[in-house]
Structure 1
């Protein structure tokens, strides 16, 4: 091929190659859409309820034991049995105690007769004052021995000091019992204690305010999961539902901090509801109404620390608000309140229904397009 023809072909191909380069350079990569986790600002009235894990304990509990030793001959109780005040719970073999009582009664009768006779003789001036004093002292000693014998017989019986439920039986019949050895544990069932751990920040404003008046405490119990079985489907456990919240009354609070935490134990009293079987050791949830302590500045929301960002050019704090119509975020200046265990209070800048970025706020920019995370089961 001649050189003239090669040059002509090169001139024709060059514009085509340059056109391809221009087309490829014109295609720009699409910006990546960042996934974010959102949270919705809920109604302030609902967020004023503060929840504390609580433990149920018996308001009245006693470990019962005999004051004397002996053979246990009567113990017919089972754990969980209800008893009334004064009911016989257990009894020791009382034959020795009865014989000792008979002997003490005889000695007392003899000493009483002797004192009566010598008292008459003294008034007739037939005996000295010293003999009368001796008879009087003997009578007092016999009376004391009689009272002791009666007590020893009474100590062979173990009676319920209050109405309640037998929580634990430690012995069986026909065992030899030692003095003060615990036979059973009795718990009162008229009321139960509900105890929680309260941080010092909640106790500070309560100098002249009653706990019940300030927080209106209530307790609720979580119903257990139930088995749901439908024809043609695998049986599953349904989610637990929360039962009714019952009012409780403040009982006492500790003045010494709990070991290992800057919290104080606060105890409330609950009359067990008739529709629930409340037992000591169960767990519950105590609700406190915090609105009375936030009358001046109510928190709009409590956001995690990962949702708060500080502006670079101004000394302000911001959050990223999500616009679902454009899938973009915008910076919103907010005022912060107190730090709580679950996050930090937002006093102003947001309103109910706003969606803000809860995680990943530091990596966002104004008008940046984002994609809300859709949480699937197991994720």
Structure 2
């Protein structure tokens, strides 16, 4: 009996000890990291932006009614004059409708003329004359409507330019407003370049510095040309997260075609744009994302880290120049990046000032 009591006591003590061990809090091991500070921005007076020639005022041209394409009178690369017919729909039904409406209109005019003579001799009432007048007006409206529908089967160039694309061919059906071709103004050259947010923030279209003309060098063309500012987008590109600026010039004698690559040289001081390229940070502070060209840094505030996306403009011997995502004075973690998590507490063992 005594032995049984001792055995039960031993089992109870073991169970209590096990519960105590399970209830103990697991202490998280500290994560030691080194950090680096973001110093003054990288500054240069002259910058070159890569760009592309795009069609000037490119406009999709479409019919105002649906139907079957009978003729497309132009092809890509053709020059057209303002008012020139460039496409035509099958108009057999519309022409028949015009003939019917014209016959009804002619009949209504003659009936009204006879009615006016009879009313003058008091052979018909004023109400009957009013009915003949209304019939004539209705027939006239139907005739004009049918004529417009016939005109809508023909497509005319709204301005002089060059055809860039043709989307429809003969016997294809087209819906109302569906583009048949694209037309652009070939007497102008539009150049599109990409700008980071910190450069675009310094662009003021109302500034006197906007009279400055950067120089463009086109692929395959020896001569350089001055460009005028046209406009820029207010929303970033979804993929590149950069803003698009458009510059323009008159078309030279030797035509520069859309799709031509171009280098735009800018004196940032004369242009009145802050000459900040970005901030130089070591490669060890960068963490690649899941997509190509996607990079992050880990900013340290107090002892807590935060993951921030950045844009890399270029890589040099000292690291990478980051144009967005960091600012002077930021403290970045540059070790054990893969062990970091959003909001994690870390201990700093080495600081690079």
* Residue from 221, 224, 245 that aligns with 1:266: 245
Indicate whether 1:244 and 2:228 are aligned: no
CA apart distance, 1:118: 3.0
**Which of 81, 86, 89 pairs up with 2:86?**
89
1:109: Cα distance to partner? 1.4
1:163 aligns with 2:160: yes
1:206 corresponds, among 204, 207, 212, to: 204
Report how far residue 105 of structure 1 moved.
1.1
Map 1:1-379 onto structure 2 (within 5 A). 48-122=45-119, 125-202=122-199, 203-204=201-202, 206=204, 208-210=206-208, 212-213=210-211, 215-223=212-220, 243-259=222-238, 263-275=242-254, 277-292=255-270, 341=313
- Matching residue of 1:314: none
Q: State TM-score, norm by structure 1.
A: 0.55
Residues 94-129 of structure 1 deviation map (CA, whole Å, 9 limit, x = unaligned)? 333222211111111121222333345445555443
For the 8 Å contact 2:66–2:174, the answer to whether it is kept is yes
Tell me the distance in 1 between the aligned counterparts of 2:313 and 2:160. Answer: 41
Give 1:337's aligned residue. none
Deviation of 1:177 after TM superposition, in Å, equals 4.4
How much has 1:87 moved relative to structure 2?
2.0
Larger Rg: 1
Task: State the Cα RMSD in Å.
Answer: 3.6
How far, CA to CA, are the matches of 2:271 and 2:231 in structure 1? 20
Q: Does the CA-based 8 Å contact 1:167-1:184 persist in structure 2?
A: yes
Instruction: Tell me if structure 1 keeps the 8 A contact 2:115–2:132.
Output: yes
1:138-161: CA deviations, max 9, x gaps? Answer: 222111111111112212222222
Structure 1 residues 171, 251: CA separation in 2 closer, same or farther (over 3 Å shift)?
same
Deviation by residue 1:20-77 (Cα, 9 ceiling, x = unmatched): xxxxxxxxxxxxxxxxxxxxxxxx9xx6332112122112223333333444333343
Secondary structure at the counterpart of residue 91 of structure 1: strand
Give structure 2 stretches of 5+ with no counterpart.
1-42, 283-311, 320-353
CA deviation after TM superposition for structure 1 residue 289, in Å: 1.9
The structure-2 alpha-carbon separation of the partners of 1:197 and 1:146, relative to structure 1 and needing over 3 Å to count, comes to same
Call closer, same or farther: CA 1:292–1:63 in 2, change over 3 Å: closer
Q: Is the 8 A contact 1:305 1:343 kept in 2?
A: no
